[in-house]
Structure 1
C-alpha cells in the first residue's frame, strides 16, 4: 500500500459578481453608492475605493464621484478576480436660464433683476460669463496665461457669486468665449506668439468684422489648453456647467484664412478640442456644452461646427436659434423674425436629428431682444412653446443688456 498526502487542487474559481442598476444622477459632483453581490469575494474595488464583502456576498461601495467608464473588481482570498464595466448615467437637469455678463452681475440693479426672476421661480439657472467676446476673464483667474496677458479682470468675485446663486438653489452655467479673443490674440501677436493667431495668406493677422486681431487659432495647442485651463478652474470653483461659445472658425472664405499647425479640417479640429476638454471638465465636476450657430445643422463647414461630431463630447448642444438671425425663407418660414414659433419649431427638428445617438441633448438659446421686430412676452413665449412642442423643456434666454421679459416665463 502506498500512502501519501492528498494535495488539494488550487482554487481558480473567480467570484460571481452582480451589480445593482445605478440610478441616473444629475451632476458630475458628489458621491455615488454602488451596491451588489460578490459571492465568494473578499473585497470589491472601483476607482481606487475598496469595500469588504459580507458573508452573504453583499457589498456597498461609495465613490466620491459618478463612475465614468471605469471597472469594478471583485477579488477572493486566493486572488481570483472578476471584473465588470461600471458607468453611471449622468443626465442634464432641466435648464431655464438667462444670460448674464460679468459687468451686469457686478451692477446691482441688473443683478437684482435676474435674482428676482429666480425668487419668483421663473428661472432655475443663470448663465454667467467667465470669458467674454473681448477675451476678458470676468473674475480674478489664477490661470497663468490669463494673468500674463492681462485678461484676468476681477470684475466680480466668482466664489461670492457662486455662493449667492447656489444658496438660492440655482445652477450656474459658466460661458467661455473660446476662440474669439482679442485680448489674447493681440497679446500673443505682439509678443511673438503669432502661431496662436489665425492669419491671412500674407502672414498677417486675420481681420474680420470683429476686429483687426480678434481670433485666436483653434489649432494651437497653447490656445486649446488655455481655454481648457479656464474651464477646469471654473469647474473647481463650483460652476456647474461649462459652455464654450465661439468654438468655431471665423465666418468667411477659407481661402482668406491660415490656421498654423492645422493638420485636419477645421471642423475635425474643433470636435477634437471638445474631446480633449471633456474629461478634464467632467473630472472637475462640471457638464460640458457648446453654443453653436443655427445654420450649423445644415451648413456645418461655413463655421466649422460639425454637430454630430461635436455632440459626442458634449452633455448638451446649445444652438443659437434667434429668429432675427435667420434669412427669409429658411426652413420654408417666410419671415422668421416675425414668426418666432415657426422658425424655432422647424430648426429644432434638425438639431434633434443631428444629436440623436450621440448622448447629447439640445438646450436652445432663445431670443429676448428686439432687432427689426419688437419682442416682448408674447414673442419670447412663442419660442418657449415651440421648443416644448418638440419635447424640449430647457432653454437659455439671450439679451445683451441683461433685461428679460419675466411675463413670458411660468413661475415654478
Structure 2
C-alpha cells in the first residue's frame, strides 16, 4: 500500500497498528465523553436532591412558624378570672383576665382594650351576670367565654318607716338614733303606701296624672342622708291595693284596671269600696314597674312589693278583666317580668308575703316556690298575733313568739329551697291581744337567727320601736 502522505509503500502490519491506535484514541475520547455526561447527570441529580431537601426544610419551617396572616386567623386565647359577687345592684362588676391575640374584649355594647401583654379589665354596670364575654383579634377573629357573677345582699336589720314619719322630725330622729348606735343597718322607707300615695314627687306619668305623686318627703335628700351614714334603704311599694289609682281609673274610662264583682262593679272588700287594682292589667303592671325603676334610679338599694296578691276572700265573686292564667301564676309572672328592669335600675327585688302563703298559696295568690324564683328576698309577715291557735303545733302563737317564728321560718326555708331568694321575715313590734316589749321582740329575732336567717324587718304602725330588743353591732 502506498502512503498518501509520503507516496511510499506501507506494510500491512503497520497499517493495522496505526488503525488500532486511532481506534483506541476514539474509544478513549468516547469514554471520557461518557464519563463527562455521567458526571453531569450526577451533578444534576445531586442538585435536584439538594433542591428537594431545601424545599422540605422550608415547608416544615413554614408550618412551625406561621406567617402573620396565619397568626391573625387564629382565635385569641381567652381566660377569665373568677368574678366576685357584688353586694349591691348599684355597684359595677369588674371582669379581669387575659386575651392573648385579641385587641378588645366586650360584653354586649360594653368593651375594653386588651393590653400588649394580653391582660384586660372590663367594668360592667351591675350584676347579676349570666352572659358571654367576647375577645376579638385585629383580624376580627373571636373567642368567647361564659361569664357569671351574682349579687349577694348584705345583712338586713330594718325598721318600717312611713313617708309621714320620715317627714316628722321626732320620728325620723328616733329611727336615725337606732342607726347611729348600730342597732339597725337598713331603713324600709315607703315609696307608695296603702292609700296609693307616692311619698315623693314622682315623675312617673300615671302617678302625676292620677294625683298619687306628693311631696311628703324629699327622696334624694333622704337617700343621701342615710347612705352617708352607711345605712341601706329598701323602698316599700304597695302594689295592687291602690285606692287612689283604682278610683281614678274607674272614673276615667279604665274599668278594666279594677278588680270587679260578677255584676261588673268594683269589687268591695274590707279595704274599701274600690281599693284593689287588677294585677292582670298591663297598665297596672307597668305603673308598678315604672315606680320601682324610678326608685332604683333615685338610689333605693331595694324595692319590696307589698300587697302583691289578690284580695283575700271568695275567688268566685271576683273578676279580673284580661286574666288568662291563674291568679297565682299571674302574680309570679309579674315578678318574672319586672326582675330585669329593676335590677338594671340598681335595686334588689323583694316581695312581702302572707305567713299562711307557705301552706295556703291559693288563698291570696302567693305561690311561694314560684315567686322565689324571681326575687332576691321574700319577706313573710310572721306576726305572732296573726296566727290561729295550733298553727305549726304552737298552742298560742301570740304568747309564744319564739316558737311560731322559728317553726314558720323553717317552712319558708323549705319552700324556697333551690332558689337564690333569701328569707327576711317581718317581725312584730306592736301589741295586739298580748303586750309586746323588748323581750317579745327579742324572742322573735332570736328565733330568726336560730332558724338560719340573718336579718329581719320590724313593723310598727306607729313607727315606734323597742331599741332594747336590738343588739348594737
TM-score, length-scaled by structure 2: 0.84
Match of 2:153 among 92, 101, 107: 92
Inter-partner Cα distance in structure 2 for 1:393 and 1:160: 29
CA contact (8 A) 2:394 2:404 kept: yes
Residue 181, structure 1, aligned to residue 246, structure 2? no
Q: Deviations over 1:300-335 (max 9, x none)?
A: 000000111111110000000000000000000000
Q: Which residue of 2 aligns with 1:118?
A: 179
Shift of 1:146: 0.6
Task: Kindly state the Cα deviation for residue 48 of structure 1 after the two structures are TM-superposed.
Answer: 2.2
Mapped contact 1:67–1:86 kept (Cα < 8 A): no
Please tell me whether residue 329 in structure 1 is matched to residue 374 in structure 2: no
For the 8 Å contact 1:37–1:57, the answer to whether it is kept is: yes
Query: Unaligned stretches of 5+ in structure 1?
Result: none
CA separation in 2, counterparts of 1:245 and 1:74? 44
CA distance in 2, matches of 1:47, 1:240: 25
- Rounded to whole Å, the distance in 1 between the matches of 2:114 and 2:223 is 40
- Structure 1 residue 18 corresponds to structure 2 residue 96: no
Q: Which of 279, 284, 298 matches 1:237? A: 298
In structure 2, distance between residues paired with 1:250 and 1:17: 54
1:207-222 mapped onto 2 (5 Å cutoff)? 207-222=268-283
1:134-164 deviations in Å (ceiling 9; x for gaps): 1011111111111111111211111111111
How far apart in 2 are the matches of 1:136 and 1:62? 38
SS for the counterpart of 1:87 is strand
| Residue 272 (1) aligns with residue 333 (2) | yes
Rounded Cα–Cα distance in structure 2 between residues aligned with 1:12 and 1:258: 63
Q: Secondary structure at the match of 1:201?
A: coil
C-alpha separation in 2, matches of 1:315 and 1:301: 22
1:295 has 2:356 as partner = yes
| Most deviating of 7-16 and 387-396 | 7-16
Asked if residue 162 in structure 1 is aligned to residue 231 in structure 2, the reply is no
What are the residue-to-residue correspondences of 1:5-404 with 2, within 5 Å?
Answer: 12-66=73-127, 68-404=129-465
Between the aligned partners of 1:164 and 1:257, the Cα distance in structure 2 is 44
Distance 2:200 2:121 in 1: 41
What is the number of equivalent residue pairs in this alignment?
A: 412
Deviates more, 1:49-58 or 1:153-162: 49-58
The question of whether the paired residues in 2 share the 8 Å contact of 1:323 and 1:337 is answered with yes
- Separation in structure 2 between the aligned mates of residue 176 and residue 55 of structure 1, nearest angstrom: 50
Greater relative contact order structure (CA < 8 Å, 6+ sep): 1
- 1 CA distance for matches of 2:109 and 2:127? 13
Mapped contact 1:130–1:139 kept (Cα < 8 A): yes
Which of these two proteins has the greater Rg computed from alpha carbons?
2
Deviation at 1:354, TM superposition (A): 1.0
Query: How far apart in 2 are the matches of 1:192 and 1:31?
Result: 44
**Alignment RMSD (CA, Å):** 1.8
Q: CA deviation at 1:54?
A: 3.0
CA shift for structure 1 position 67: 5.3
In 2: Cα distance, 1:390 partner to 1:13 partner = 55
Residues 30-39 or 249-258, more deviating: 30-39
Change (3 A) 1:200 1:185: same
**Aligned-residue offset at 1:215:** 0.1
Q: Deviations over 1:61-94 (max 9, x none)?
A: 2223235222110122332211122122101110
- Tell me the distance in 2 between the aligned counterparts of 1:223 and 1:333: 39
Q: Which residue of 1 aligns with 2:15?
A: none
Structure 1 residue 39, shift from structure 2 partner? 2.4
Give the unaligned 5+ runs of structure 2: 1-47
Deviations 1:216-249 (A, max 9, x none): 0000000000000100111111111000000000
